Amino acid sequence: MARHGGRGWHGRVLAAAVGVTAMAAATSVWTAQAGPNGGVHAGAGAAAHPSAGATGPGRAPVSVSIAHASDKGPRGVNITIDDGPDPVWTPQVMQVLKDYGVKATFCMVGTQAQAHPDLVKAVVAAGHRLCDHTVSHDTTMDKKANSYQSKEILDAAGMITKASGGVRPMYYRAPGGAFTPYSRHLAASQGMRPLGWNVDSKDFERPGTDAIVATVRSELSNGPTILFHDAGGDRSQTVAALREILPSLKQQGYSFGFPVR
C-alpha cells in the first residue's frame, strides 16, 4: 500500500484537529491478507473512549489482520471512498453509486465527519458502511507513540459515531497505509476491522478520467478493494471515472460488496 504525500488540504485538517487532540490526553489472490501480529497495550485513549465501538456481549470479534477480500467472494469488488465527507463531492459520488446500485465503504476523516454530520447520516441511510480514517489523516502514524495513535483512532471513531447519529465505523484504514501492530489491535478491539486496498486508482493525483479508469482496469487482478477519494480537492475526475468503471465491472460479471469483517 503506497503512501500518499503532498496533500495540502490535510494540513488544514490537522490544524483544525489540534484543538480536538489537545482536549483529551499487493497480493495476487483475492483473500484477506494478514499483517504481522503484535501485542496491544492499553492506552489512556482506550480507557477514555469505552463507547467508541468496543467489542462486547453480542458483538462478534473482529480480526486484527488487514482486510482486502470481498464478502461477495472471488468475483466481488469493494469500492472504498476516502477522506470525506465533502459537501461538494460526496453527494456526487453517492449519486453515481445510487445510479448503479452499488454500496461502498466511506473512510471518513474525523473532523470532516464532525463538520458535515448531514452527509454522514446520508451515507448511512443509503446503505453504505463507515470507516475510521483518523482525526487528521497523518500518514506518519506508524512513527508516532501509541498514545497518539490511540487518540487519532478513537477520537475519530467518536466523531463519526456522533455525526452518524450512533452508527459506529466498521473498519479502520490507516492514512497512507501506516498501520502498526498496536493500531490494528486497537481498532479490532473497538469492533473496526483494519482495512487495506489492492488497487490505488491514483484519482487523488487527478491524472485524468481515462488514466484513472485505465489504472483500475490494469490493477484489478491485484485484488478486489479499490481506493477512490471524495475530498481533498476537485474530484470531478473521480465522479466521471466511477460512471465508467461501475457499469463496466458489472458487464464483466463482477458484483459489488463490502470488505470482509
pLDDT at 30: 36
Q: Which residues contact 191 (CB under 8 A, 6 or more apart)?
A: 53, 54, 55, 59, 62, 168, 170
Element (H, E) at 17: helix 8-23
Q: Residue 16 to residues 13, 19, 77, 98, 256: CA-CA distances in angstroms?
A: 5, 7, 34, 32, 35
pLDDT at 75: 95
Cα angle, residue 223 at apex, residues 221 and 224 outer, rounded to 5°: 115
Q: Is 53 left (phi over 0), alpha (psi -120 to 50) or beta?
A: left
Active site residues: 82, 229
pLDDT at 61: 81
Q: pLDDT averaged over the chain?
A: 83
pLDDT at 101: 97
pLDDT along the chain (261 residues), means of 10: 40 38 32 29 31 45 95 97 98 98 98 98 98 97 97 98 98 97 97 98 98 98 98 97 98 97 93
What span, in angstroms and rounded, lies between the C-alpha atoms of 156 and 55?
17
pLDDT at 59: 57
pLDDT per position as a tens digit, 112-152: 999 999 999 999 999 999 999 999 999 999 999 999 999 99
Q: Which residues contact 58 (CB under 8 A, 6 or more apart)?
A: none
